[in-house]
Amino acid sequence: MSSKPKPRAAREQLRIVIVGHVDHGKSTLVGRLFHDTGSLPEGKYEAIKAMCERRGMPFEWAFLMDSFQSERDQGITIDTSQIWFKTQKRDYVIIDAPGHREFIKNMITGASSAEAAMLLIDAGHGIQQQSRLHGFLLNLLGIRQVAVVVNKMDLVDYSAHRFAEIRQQYTHYLGGLGVTPDYFIPISARDGDNMVERSTRMDWYQGPTVVEALDSFHPTTRPTDQPLRLPIQDVYKFDDRRIVVGRIESGRLSVGDRLMFSPSNKTARVSSIESWSTPTKPLEAQAGQSVGVMLDEQLFLERGEIASHETDAPIETNVFRGRLFWLGHEALKVGDSYELKLMTRSAPVTVQKIERVFDAEDLSEKAAVDVPRHGVADVILRSRGLLALDEGRDMARSGRFALSDGHNIVAGGVVSMEGYPDQREL
Ligand code: GDP
């Protein structure tokens, strides 16, 4: 083999989300993953160990995460939104999934567009209500690559029987939600069993370690490879020209492209692109960039419209189904009105129908006339004017929405048009 250093190719990245009930060992798992894959900054582990000894406290892997958090709070870490670790195969970006409200907020803003998930369960406590809810939310977000990690196996004497019991229960439950986990892995995050190194204490287990499981997942479609969605944030006028400004949420855009604006259905060609992230005027731009677009015709356009290519335009409708997670204090009822927020669009909507409500405990379908706090339901929403939107499973941004009561976000939801709209209801 040559000893010449190879040119540095861009490493593949995979975005993962780690969810689990509080205290089931999320931070421990992440701390251990960083350490065992050799991804920690040099001296970090030793520094935290020494700090624990000085203070006479037992070492906790979670302290590593706490220290990252405090560095982030102080702005020491360069990347303030994401943390990542490396395996031989690629880099992993961990997307935080803390409390309900944050999770919903991330989900709506697209920050939770994870490509794979690890669901963490405490072997002693087993499945909790939150574990069920997390499974449900992953399904809602269309995250199909899932590894269930059964943690704290040391507390159940590394029992194959206990592991099989949890696997059976959770497989059954997730199956009901349309989620088929790729793996169930028994681990002890604290001791590192089956994380990077294969455990010698669970030789009854033949499956992959956590890192092997993660490395077997595939990158999913990147936003840049999806249809163009450029929601208008603002329209500026100067001279007799107009410049349309927004962030490209998915797809690509080139000078010369014919754009269609939905729901007004006006079209025009891109005559130039202004970008704040490049020194010269670019000929093209892609998802993630904020741009100003100069058009070859003077159209009257408003904030909230979505620019796309004519051949791949969003759905236009004034009635749609949303599968939503309800956070309001009062129950959601037919006839209630809220402010819909979908990308840059705001529009009043009314609840026309509650199709089904899922039980908060086991998420089975139940008969109900309203949706209680923290309930999940399929509802039909109607607006006066036309809305432009997408199927939420496919499009992380233009297919997800929030409802506001004028002060607070009261729901997060995903557009689900399957079998809908029924033309008679339009
Ligand atoms: P989080 O709230 O899900 O982030 O949970 P933490 O990572 O903070 O862990 C909660 C508690 O469980 C801590 O006291 C950990 O030391 C403990 N813990 C985590 N993993 C294991 C494990 O594999 N075995 C045992 N015995 N305890 C663990």
Per-residue pLDDT tens over the stretch 223-282: 899 999 999 999 988 777 789 999 999 999 999 999 999 999 999 999 999 987 778 889
Predicted local distance difference test score (pLDDT) of residue 80: 38
CA of 200 to the centre of ligand 1 (A): 20
Q: Which residue has the higher pLDDT, 350 or 17?
A: 350
The mean predicted confidence, pLDDT, of the chain is 86
DSSP code per residue over 174-224: HHHTT---SEEEE-BTTTTBTTTBPPSS-TT--S--HHHHHHH------GG
Predicted local distance difference test score (pLDDT) of residue 102: 62
What is the pLDDT confidence band of residue 109, given thresholds at 50, 70 and 90?
Answer: low
Ligand 1 binding site (Cβ under 6 Å of any ligand atom) = 20, 22-28, 60, 62, 151-152, 154-155, 188-190
With the most atoms of ligand 1 within 8 angstroms of its CB, the residue from 23, 65, 156 to mutate is 23
Mean pLDDT on 191-208: 96
What ipTM does this complex have?
0.99
pTM (predicted TM-score): 0.76
Residue 114: Cβ-neighbour burial (10 angstroms; 0-12, 13-18, 19+): buried
Q: Which residues pair with 392 in a beta bridge?
A: none
Predicted local distance difference test score (pLDDT) of residue 148: 96
Taking the CA of residue 193 as reference, the ligand 1 atom at the shortest distance is 23
CA of 362 to the centre of ligand 1 (A): 25
What is the pLDDT confidence band of residue 93, given thresholds at 50, 70 and 90?
Answer: confident
Count of beta carbons in the 10 Å neighbourhood of residue 384: 10
* Planar angle of CA 108, 114, 118, nearest 5 degrees: 120
CA of 27 to the centre of ligand 1 (A): 7
Predicted local distance difference test score (pLDDT) of residue 327: 83
Mean pLDDT on 293-304: 92
Q: Which residue has the higher pLDDT, 422 or 136?
A: 136
Residues 346-396: pLDDT tens digits?
999 999 999 999 876 666 777 788 998 878 899 999 999 999 999 987 888
pLDDT at residue 110 greater than cutoff 60: no
- Whose Cα sits closest to atom 10 in ligand 1? 23
pLDDT at residue 77 greater than cutoff 50: no
Predicted local distance difference test score (pLDDT) of residue 422: 55
With the most atoms of ligand 1 within 8 angstroms of its CB, the residue from 59, 190, 201 to mutate is 190
Residues 181-199: pLDDT tens digits?
999 999 999 999 999 999 9
pLDDT at residue 423 greater than cutoff 50: no
Location of structure tokens 């006339």: 369
Percent of the chain with pLDDT over 90: 52
What is the pLDDT confidence band of residue 96, given thresholds at 50, 70 and 90?
Answer: low
CA of 178 to the centre of ligand 1 (A): 29
Predicted local distance difference test score (pLDDT) of residue 426: 47
pLDDT at residue 319 greater than cutoff 50: yes
- Give the max Cα distance, the chain: 76
Residue 191: Cβ-neighbour burial (10 angstroms; 0-12, 13-18, 19+): middle
Q: Rounded to an integer, what is the distance from CA 209 to the centroid of its chain?
A: 24
pLDDT at residue 129 greater than cutoff 80: no
d(CA 74, CA 40): 19
CA of 19 to the centre of ligand 1 (A): 14
Q: Rounded to an integer, what is the distance from CA 298 to the centroid of its chain?
A: 37
φ, ψ of residue 76 in degrees (nearest 5): -75, -45
Q: Which residue has the higher pLDDT, 104 or 349?
A: 349
CA of 150 to the centre of ligand 1 (A): 12
Task: Using DSSP bridges, classify how beta strands 290-295 and 266-275 pair: parallel, antiparallel or unpaired.
Answer: antiparallel
pLDDT at residue 305 greater than cutoff 80: yes
Location of structure tokens 């991330």: 106
- Whose Cα sits closest to atom 19 in ligand 1? 25
Predicted local distance difference test score (pLDDT) of residue 246: 95
What is the pLDDT confidence band of residue 72, given thresholds at 50, 70 and 90?
Answer: low
Taking the CA of residue 60 as reference, the ligand 1 atom at the shortest distance is 16
CA of 165 to the centre of ligand 1 (A): 21
d(CA 246, CA 121): 41
φ, ψ of residue 187 in degrees (nearest 5): -140, 165
Q: Rounded to an integer, what is the distance from CA 261 to the centroid of its chain?
A: 27
Residues 159-184: pLDDT tens digits?
999 999 999 998 988 887 778 999 99
What is the pLDDT confidence band of residue 103, given thresholds at 50, 70 and 90?
Answer: low
- Whose Cα sits closest to atom 2 in ligand 1? 23
Percent of the chain with pLDDT over 70: 87
- N-term to C-term CA, the chain: 67
Q: Rounded to an integer, what is the distance from CA 175 to the centroid of its chain?
A: 21
CA of 190 to the centre of ligand 1 (A): 7
